[in-house]
Amino acid sequence: MSGKGPERFTKATLPRKTCVACGRPFAWRKKWSRDWHEVKYCSDRCRAIGSAKPLTARPTKA
Ligand SMILES: [Zn+2]
């Protein structure tokens, strides 16, 4: 271990976020190591739920 590769985390120092779809906290996973800063959902299911809703409320054309 000599600092090679991307940032590493131990179990105790795993970054956490709150899923914007279900509101549950989730911890960093290796599969998110490249785009952790963009992760908003704890799972693909939540991402599907989240992306189904418009992030910004737009006035609907009547
Ligand atoms: Zn979720």
pLDDT tens readout for residues 4-60: 666 677 777 899 999 999 999 999 999 999 999 999 999 999 999 988 866 566 667
Query: Ligand 1 centre from 31 Cα, in Å?
Result: 16
pLDDT at residue 52 in the model: 82
Give residue 23 CA to ligand 1 midpoint distance, Å: 6
Task: Give me the residues near ligand 1 (ion), CB cutoff below 5 Å.
Answer: 19, 21-22, 42, 46
39 neighbors 25 (Cβ within 8 angstroms): no
Quote the pTM value: 0.64
What separation in Å is there between the alpha carbon of 62 and the centre of ligand 1? 33
**Of 62, 61, 28, 26, which is closest to residue 45 (Cα–Cα)?**
26
Q: How far is the CA of 44 from the centre of ligand 1 (A)?
A: 8
Cβ-contact 6, 32 below 8 angstroms: no
| Predicted local distance difference test score (pLDDT) of residue 54 | 61
Of 31, 34, 27, nearest to 13 (Cα)? 27
